[in-house]
Amino acid sequence: MTDYNTMELMISIAARELDNGATVGVGTGAPCAAAMLAQKTASPELVIMFEAGGISPQLPEMPISVGDSRTFYKAAMAGSMGDTMEACSRGFVDYTFLGGAQIDMYGNLNSTVIGDHKKPKVRFPGSGGANDFASFCWKMMVMTPQNTKRFVEKLDFLTTPGWLSGYDSRMKSGLPEGTGPYKIITDMAIMDFEPESKRMRVISIHPGNTFDKIQENCGFELLKAGKINETTPPTSEELHLLREEIDPYRYIIGR
């Protein structure tokens, strides 16, 4: 089984990043699929937490929202949003997945408005729990399609902190040392952040792509890692689990 789409590729990559025994705060959709896939492969003891308060459920199938009753199915704890955010602020959550309408070179996210805040062209839902997750979880990841409208030089609004303006600006802002953006997984590449400047850099290129093509689809200059790998495609096992057990109705992965 070698045919796969970019969503299946991104979910499989994300699942491989989640260590066994770690804790991950997820929303619904692709992040949830990645966490479920991790549990069914290399990380059976991964603890999944939902923003609405479901902690370590045994998900019978893909939930449709963070408050779906399935996010509490056989859970270790049926808590509240306050319980989840408290766990983040106390340093108990290792990973989180976030997204937004815009992302910049330091991993800052905008999920509030496009255009002027007072008279926006488009208004989005806003932070929800994203600011809390990004501020206090140890490793923040993003899964997103890549284009110049989404990867921008300057955000129209800063909803969720990444590395702020780079270097030590995040720590100086008062956010916990050791937390921050970790990996950006797109339909073209995997990026991390250069340790000193905290600027986004390419570390792995997906099959069929080139660095030049990736740069063309980004609104700011990307750095290059010393060694850039080729991304390993989804395995037959990963695709089978995604298509037959995790998302059989193809709500997330598509047809």
How far CA 208 is from CA of 11, 145, 237, in Å, comes to 18, 15, 22
139 domain-assigned: yes
Q: State the angle between helix axes of 6-16 and 30-40 in degrees (0 to 180), rounded to the nearest 10.
A: 50
Q: What is the pLDDT of residues 101-148, one digit of tens each?
A: 999 999 999 999 999 999 999 999 999 889 999 999 999 999 999 999
Instruction: Tell me which residue range forms the domain holding 222.
Output: 6-246
Could you give the residue numbers annotated as active site?
51
Report the alpha-carbon distance of residue 62 to residue 205 in Å, rounded.
29
253 domain-assigned: no
The CATH number linked to 127 is 3.40.1080.10
Grouping H, G, I as helix, E, B as strand and the rest as coil, residue 182 is strand
1 domain-assigned: no
Report the alpha-carbon distance of residue 40 to residue 15 in Å, rounded.
10
Q: What is the pLDDT of residues 178-228, one digit of tens each?
A: 999 999 999 999 999 999 999 999 999 999 999 999 999 999 999 999 999
**C-beta of residue 15 within 8 angstroms of C-beta of residue 44:** no
Q: How many domains does the structure of the chain reveal?
A: 1
